[in-house]
């Protein structure tokens, strides 16, 4: 199919998988049918050990438009960035699955919060501020899962915006 993005095993390196899994800043974006963007900070993220499935967690009350756009279009772009170094990777996909967060995922969300407290402490943001920024009730959290199809290095510098090997468009 022309223009269909391809991804799969090997799309993300072990280094990128470790970055995503470490609890770094996670910004989720989509767009509506008129190409108007929507975005929100996730309250958690997880990735499979192989990097073939990513789940981001959104707080429904603050993500109404983004969730509507994800549901309507399936298009997602997520930026994972380490605040202290600005090391950043962006992943994209054209299909998502949405579901309510499960009680068993509460510990994952708490680990993410603790990791973000540590990340942001390196740049002078107090834990209380981080907790306020990532506050949520589990009953309000939506899990958005997808298989990454494209990936880009977004770390500031000469490689910023370059597509990662294994990411591309099938002719």
1-17 per-position pLDDT tens digit: 223 334 555 789 999 99
C-alpha span between 72 and 120 (Å, rounded): 33
Secondary structure percentages of the chain, helix, strand, coil, to 5:
30, 30, 40
pLDDT tens digits, 52-101: 999 999 999 999 999 999 999 999 999 999 999 999 999 999 999 999 99
pLDDT score, position 169: 46
Query: 112-147: per-residue pLDDT in tens?
Result: 999 999 999 999 999 999 999 999 999 999 999 999
What pTM was computed for the model?
0.89
Q: What is the pLDDT of residue 162?
A: 72
Residue 18 has a pLDDT of: 96
Per DSSP, the three-state class of 166 is: coil
Alpha helices in 22-105 (DSSP H): 64-73
Distance, in Å, from the CA atom of 45 to the CA atom of 149, rounded to the nearest integer, reads 17
Domain 14-152 part of CATH 2.30.110.10: yes
């Amino acid at each position: 199919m022309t223009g269909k993005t391809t991804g799969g095993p090997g799309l993300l390196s072990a280094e990128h998988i470790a970055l995503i899994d470490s609890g770094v800043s996670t910004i989720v974006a989509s767009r509506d049918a008129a190409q108007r963007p929507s975005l929100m900070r996730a309250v958690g993220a997880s990735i499979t050990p192989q990097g073939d499935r990513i789940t981001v967690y959104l707080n429904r009350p603050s993500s109404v438009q983004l969730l509507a756009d994800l549901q309507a279009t399936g298009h997602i772009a997520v930026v994972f960035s380490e605040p202290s170094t600005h090391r950043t990777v962006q992943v994209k996909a054209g299909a998502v699955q949405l579901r309510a967060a499960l009680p068993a995922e509460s510990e994952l969300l708490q680990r993410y919060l603790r990791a973000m407290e540590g990340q942001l402490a390196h740049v002078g943001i107090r834990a209380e501020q981080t907790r306020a920024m990532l506050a949520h009730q589990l009953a309000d959290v939506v899990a958005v899962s997808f298989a990454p199809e494209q990936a880009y290095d977004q770390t500031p510098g000469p490689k910023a915006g370059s597509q990662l090997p294994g990411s591309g468009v099938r002719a």
